[in-house]
Amino acid sequence: MKLFVATHNPHKLREIGEILPDFTVCAEDPDVEETAPDFAGNALIKARAIAALHEGCWVMADDSGLEVEALGGEPGVRSARYAGEPTNTPANNALLLKNLAGKTDRRAHFTCCVALVDPQGREHVVEGRCYGTIAQAASGAGGFGYDPLFVPDGYDKSFAELTADEKNAISHRGRALAEVKRLLAGASVL
């Protein structure tokens, strides 16, 4: 069975294919602006755009980002372009450290929302979170984005110092995809 996924990120596609081996995962470019104020809204905008192209199929889109308590939830839906357009990861990470300078509360969490549209056109949204803290300095060379700064609760290493399997087991995206798997199993698709 085909699953159209609104991403061209090869890491995400591989991860989704590994977690949902019963589907043939096909990449699609939603070509829409992510204008919603939250992750669920943006995931739905992308999923609906792809569903309009593939009626009668399963469609999936995700949206994720980092929310920092002491910054009132920033960078949130602006995580990719926190320091401006185009996306600049070193600048985003530097700005985050600057904005947290002198703050003792460094709690943060990643959120990932996944929107699914089923072959009947019904919409489903699931969410996964990973809680942790923002380190004083970057460490590790793995992962992407804010990974070198994010230390998940219960660990003394950043996301960038974990293996891909270790990160997937506890990450916001891994948890949201586990929910997707449960949802599909409940729909007797798996």
31 annotated active-site: no
Other beta carbons within 10 Å of 71: 18
Q: Give the H/E segment covering residue 62.
A: strand 58-68
Nearer to ligand IMP, 64 or 133 (CB): 64
Nearer to ligand IMP, 34 or 190 (CB): 34
For residues 12 and 134, give the distance between their C-alpha atoms in angstroms, rounded to a whole number. 24
Q: Is 18 within 8 Å of 149 (Cβ atoms)?
A: no
3-state secondary structure of 64: strand
Nearest approach in angstroms of CB 25 to ligand IMP is 16
- CB burial of 85-106 (b: ≥16 within 10 Å; e: otherwise) equals eeeeeeebbebbeebbeeeeeb
Nearer to ligand IMP, 15 or 119 (CB): 15
63, 147, 153, 156: which is the annotated catalytic residue?
63
Nearest approach in angstroms of CB 110 to ligand IMP is 6
Q: Which residues bind ligand IMP (CB under 6 A)?
A: 63-66, 79-80, 87, 110, 143-147, 159, 171
Nearest approach in angstroms of CB 21 to ligand IMP is 22
* Residues designated as active site: 63
